[in-house]
Amino acid sequence: MPLRVVVVDDHPLYREGLVTAMSAMSDVEVVGEAGDGQEAVRVATELVPDVVVMDLHMPVLNGIDATRQITAGLPSVAVLVLTMLEGDDSVFAAVRAGARGYLLKGADRAEIARALHAVAHGEVVFSAGIAGRVLAFFAAGPGAAAALDPFPGLTEREREILDLVARGLTNAEIARRLVVSDKTVRNHVSNVFAKLQVAGRAEAVARARDAGLGSSPLSP
């Protein structure tokens, strides 16, 4: 039986190209597609495919959160990430969310075909350059567990503030929540932006959400 695949990407032309390429594979059947993470979860739940090919940077619900929901609710479904994002934070966030494969959008048809079958059979697949970095992290020994930390350079307080920034809170709201001064929050936010090497709040939010921050329920 052919592999049943759902294709998820918010760019219609690219998604259409993927669907066409995969439909041409003799042992693959594209059974559904989606243009955002929320729709991906719905389609995957409805169709229960063998593999979901998942972009990460999408509207409504990002690919990391969609992957987490799909793998938690449908453990038999493999998620293969296919994205432009190649930073370590995105890679490890996807792995933590349950993705079994991570390819970059430069992958050719043969590489995608091999990856589809590999993840469907329980294997883990990474693009060549990414695989080398992942192996290097884990070869580092016991401290390699930190590899699953998407922002190892941040302090615990800075990570807490980045999580609140990712939830859309203003500096003043963060200050009230943490019972600190606005100036203290501003200093922490500046340090976070500098460590992440981002130009501003929007880019920081995008990085944080791609890494899975700002998604769990906010405690009272």
pLDDT digits (tens, 9 = 90+) for 58-80: 888 889 889 989 998 999 999 99
* 205 falls within a domain: yes
Q: How many helices (H) and strands (E) does the chain have?
A: 10, 6
Residue 162 and residue 128 share a domain: no
Which of 98, 200, 89 has its CA nearest to residue 151? Answer: 89
Residue 161 and residue 97 share a domain: no
Q: How are beta strands 51-54 and 3-8 bridged, if at all? A: parallel
Cα–Cα distance for residue pair 44/41, rounded to 1 Å: 5
| 53, 8 contact by CB (below 8 A) | yes
* 149 falls within a domain: no
Residue 113 and residue 69 share a domain: yes
Residue 118 and residue 15 share a domain: yes
Residue 121 and residue 61 share a domain: yes
Residue 75 and residue 116 share a domain: yes
Cα–Cα distance for residue pair 28/25, rounded to 1 Å: 5
Strand order in the sheet with 51-54: 28-34, 3-8, 51-54, 78-83, 101-104, 125-126
Residue 202 and residue 128 share a domain: no
Residue 28 and residue 134 share a domain: yes
Q: What is the pLDDT of residues 135-160, one digit of tens each?
A: 766 665 545 544 456 677 788 888 88
Check residue 138 and give its pLDDT. 61
Domain limits for position 15: 3-139
Residue 124 and residue 74 share a domain: yes
**Domain end among 108, 139, 170:** 139
User: What CATH number is given to the structural domain containing 81?
Assistant: 3.40.50.2300
Check residue 147 and give its pLDDT. 47
Concatenating the DSSP letter of every residue in 3-64 gives EEEEEE-S-HHHHHHHHHHHHTSTTEEEEEEESSHHHHHHHHHHH--SEEEE-SS-SSS-HH
Residue 111 and residue 51 share a domain: yes
Each of the 220 residues of the chain gets a pLDDT tens digit; together they read 899 999 999 999 999 999 999 999 989 999 999 999 999 999 999 999 999 999 998 888 889 889 989 998 999 999 999 988 877 778 888 888 889 999 998 888 999 999 999 999 999 898 887 877 777 666 655 455 444 566 777 888 888 899 899 989 999 999 999 999 999 999 999 989 988 888 889 888 888 887 778 766 666 5
Check residue 1 and give its pLDDT. 86
* 151 falls within a domain: no
Q: How many domains would you assign to the chain?
A: 2
Residue 114 and residue 183 share a domain: no
* Residue 211 CB partners (closer than 8 Å, separation 6+): 64, 89, 90, 92, 93, 150, 151
Q: What is the pTM of this model?
A: 0.66
The rounded Cα 44 to chain-centroid distance in angstroms is: 17
**Domain end among 104, 139, 174:** 139
Check residue 119 and give its pLDDT. 94
